[in-house]
Amino acid sequence: MGVAIESVSAAAFRPFGTVLEFLPGDTSNFYIVDTEPEHPWRVAVFRYSNKEIQKIECHPSSKESFEPLQGITVLLVAQHETPEDCHAFILDKPVVLAKGIWHQTLSLTPEAQVKITENKEVESVFYTYEKPKKVWFG
């Protein structure tokens, strides 16, 4: 079953987390969008070329950012209670996923890369779909 691709906007992405962007009218050069002070964190790069997904993951007790670096990325996300009900976003700006959000990346180019910022220790839970998920432009 296909999943329609949506544009990332603060309103559309709000149920899944935070879009990393300056607020309208903000003229400052530095803006802390989200913090988690009680946990140490780490930064990683992630490279992938998959065009469909069979498995999706979530981190029940931590947030995670995805920042596009190279290629064209589609970020599939779903609420924790409904992993089958996916939304697909073109990742053309950085986002922070809320705790417990199911997620996975796809590449629309031969390869794509994102920068990931997350807690140093991450608990991962996986959900496997009966049939692979593909995306399409709606």
What would the pLDDT profile of 11-22 be if each residue is shown by its tens digit? 999 999 988 877
- Pair 113, 70: CB distance under 8 Å: yes
pLDDT bucket at 30, cuts 50 / 70 / 90: low
Domain 2-23+39-137 fold: Jelly Rolls (2.60.120)
Under 8 Å between Cβ of 135 and 86: no
Residues paired with 55 in a beta bridge: 128
- Find, among 33, 9, 13, 130, the residue nearest to 79 by Cα: 13
* pLDDT for the residue numbered 42: 84
Each residue's pLDDT tens digit, 84-114:
999 999 999 999 999 999 999 999 999 999 9
Domain extents in the chain: 2-23+39-137
| Closest residue by Cα to residue 138 from 7, 42, 46 | 7
What pLDDT score does 121 carry? 84
pTM summary value:
0.83
Strands 87-90, 95-97: parallel, antiparallel or unpaired by DSSP? unpaired
Q: Tokens representing 105?
A: 């990346």
Give the pLDDT confidence of 48-75 residue by residue, as tens digits.
999 999 999 999 999 999 999 999 999 9
